[in-house]
Amino acid sequence: MGCHEKPHAHYVYLDSQRVLHASQGCKAVAKIHNAQPVSPIAINYLQSEMLREVCSQCVDEKTLFSLQKIAEENDSLQRNGNYIITVNGVQRKIKAEKFNENIDAFVDQMPDATIRMRDRYGKEHDIKLADISNAYENNYEYVTK
């Protein structure tokens, strides 16, 4: 696997015990972790915090190293990129750092504006700022450009 290749296609899998798997059919899910079936997570959505506990049965060192690199890149984009906000039908980019530091002001001043977010499957949605708390509860993440 090359340095920039993403392992195991486009998804990794998180079980109900928050253990990350490289394989959807990993037998360790039920046998070792006593967990429910796994939920797919788009590789572009992978964050470092999801790598706290990985399955020793289906994630070898090489795969873990690749996943860590991808997560670091995703984390950096999340911190330093731009978010896409639509205000009165006009799309705008805003620095992620500026938005995160002033999120309450944005929500108070523009509750009907939308921000582009991605669900855990990688599908993008425009979420009203007034509904951003619900998006967080459903594990949505900001789309960064």
Q: What is the DSSP letter of 143?
A: -
- Helix (H, G, I), strand (E, B), or coil: what is residue 62? helix
- Which residue type sits at 21? H
Q: Sort residue 124 into left (φ over 0), alpha (ψ -120 to 50) or beta.
A: beta
Length, in residues, of the chain: 145
The pTM of the whole model exceeds 0.85: no
Q: Which residue has the tokens 């911190």?
A: 79
Q: What are 41's strand-pairing partners?
A: 12
Distance linking the first and last C-alpha atoms of the chain: 26
- Helix (H, G, I), strand (E, B), or coil: what is residue 112? coil
Where along the chain do its domains lie?
A: 11-79, 81-142
In the structure encoding, which two tokens stand for residue 22, read together? 């490289």
Phi, psi of 2 (to 5 degrees): -70, 165
Tens-of-pLDDT digits for all 145 residues of the chain? 333 334 445 788 888 778 888 888 888 776 665 666 677 887 777 888 889 899 998 899 999 999 999 898 878 777 778 899 999 999 999 988 888 888 899 999 998 999 999 887 788 999 999 999 898 888 888 888 7
Concatenating the DSSP letter of every residue in 6-51 gives PSSTTEEEE-TTS-EES-TT-THHHHTT-----EEEEGGG--GGGG
> What's the CA gap between 67 and 33, in Å, rounded?
21
